Structure 1
Amino acid sequence: MQYLIHNSGDHLELSKKSDNRKIVSGVWWITWGKYKSEILDNNDNLIYTISRKFSFWKWKMSFIVKSPSGEIFLVEGKNKSHTIYQSVIKENIFEIKIHKKRKKSVFKNGVQIASIDESFVSVFGESKGHIITNSPENIIEIFTLFFCLNFGEKNDNSLQFNFGNIGKAELIDENWKP
C-alpha cells in the first residue's frame, strides 16, 4: 500500500496515495528552547506526544513518546553514525534505517515492512514523500518513527534541495517489494 507524506513547515500529514483524506498528522513547536510535538489522528485527537532528548556524553539522540493513556516508549539511536533508530512498541521491535540520499527503511522484528522516500525539492516550505508498506496495520508506528527523525526541521519559504544523507549510511535492499 502506498501513502503520501505532505510536509509544510512544522506540520507533517499522512494520507493514502489514492485518497487525500488525512490519516494521521504531526506538528511540532519550540517551548522554552525545547522541541515538543504531537501526533494526531484524522479527527485531531491526540495519539502521542513526543519530546526529543540528546545525551551529549553518549552522543546519542532519543525521543520519548507518550500516549494519553500513559504508555511510554523510547525511540533511540543505536549506532554512533546516527543511521539506525530502534523502539519497542507493544512487544514488537521497530527499527528505522537511514540510507544514502533521501531513503529510509522500517523493520518490525527484523523483517522489512516499509520503504520511505522523501522529496528532493522543497518549494515555499512544501515538500512531499512516499511510504510503501506491506503492513498498513502498522502505519501509525511507521509514521511516528519517521516523524521523530524529521521534527524540528523547518522548511522556510524558499526553494531548497534535500540531498539527504551523503555521509555514512546503512545499505539498502533495492530488491525489496511490499
Structure 2
Amino acid sequence: MQLHLYTIKHNNNTLSIYSSTEKQYSSSWFMDFGKFGCEVFNKEENIIYKITKQFQFWKWKMVYTIKNNDEIITKLISQNNRKTVYSISINQITYELDIHFKKKISIYKNEIKIAEFDASFSDSDYKDTIKLLLLDKKDLEICFLLYSCLKIGETEQNQKAILTSQKQLEVNKEPWS
C-alpha cells in the first residue's frame, strides 16, 4: 500500500494543502448573513466549490451544502448527535468522515479507507500543520473539500469552540500513523 503525504497549513481562516512545496488547493471561510460560508480554490486561485455551513436545529444535525461551478448541490450531513460521523454521496460514491481520538480524521470511499488527517503534532514548529496520508492522488480534491467543511469557523488549528470529550469520538479501526 503506497501512501502519498501532503501537508496542510492552517492560518486563521485559511487552509492550504501542499505536495512538498507546491500548493495544490486552498480554502477560506467567512461569516455571511449569520451563516458560515467557505470557498475552495484550485492552484490557479479559481473558485471550484462554495460551501455553506448550517445547523438544523429540529434534526440536531450539522449540514454542509456544497456547490460546484456547475451549481450542482450536494450535502455533507452529520450522521449522529455527537457530530463525529459525516456522510455524503457524490456520483453514486459514498464518502464517510470519522473523527477520532488524538486529532485524527479518516475518510472512507464506499467503506474503504482512502485518507487520514493527523493534526496531533506537538512540536511548536509544526503547531499549525496537519499531515494528510492519501491512498490515491485522484482523491486529493474531494478529501481536501470534505476536510475544509469540518474546519469552517475554526480560527486556530489547535482550538475549537466546543471541546469534544475524547470518549465521544470514533475509534480508529485502522490507523495509518
Q: TM-score range by the shorter chain?
A: 0.7 to 0.9
The answer as to 2:168 corresponding to 1:168 is yes
Change (3 A) 1:56 1:161: closer
Q: Identify the match of residue 9 of structure 1 among 9, 12, 22.
A: 12
Aligned partner letter, 1:6: K
Query: SS at the partner of 2:15?
Result: strand
Deviation sequence 1:78-102 (CA, Å, 0-9, x none): 1122110001112210111001120
> How many Å separate the matches in 1 of 2:129 and 2:165?
17
> How many Å separate the matches in 2 of 1:174 and 1:110?
12
Q: How do residues 27-176 of structure 1 correspond to structure 2 at under 5 angstroms?
A: 27-120=28-121, 127-155=128-156, 166-176=166-176
> How many Å separate the matches in 2 of 1:134 and 1:27?
25
Change (3 A) 1:27 1:141: same
The answer on whether the counterparts of 2:36 and 2:54 sit within 8 Å (CA) in structure 1 is no
Q: Equivalent pairs: percent with the same residue?
A: 28
What do you get for the CA RMSD once the two structures are aligned? Answer: 2.4
The answer on whether the counterparts of 2:85 and 2:97 sit within 8 Å (CA) in structure 1 is yes
Q: TM-score, normalised by structure 2?
A: 0.88
> How many Å separate the matches in 2 of 1:13 and 1:164?
25
Q: CA deviation at 1:34?
A: 1.6
Aligned length: 171
> How many Å separate the matches in 2 of 1:175 and 1:52?
29
Query: SS at the partner of 1:154?
Result: coil
Q: CA deviation at 1:155?
A: 2.2
Change (3 A) 1:130 1:175: closer
Query: SS at the partner of 2:6?
Result: strand
Q: CA deviation at 1:32?
A: 2.3
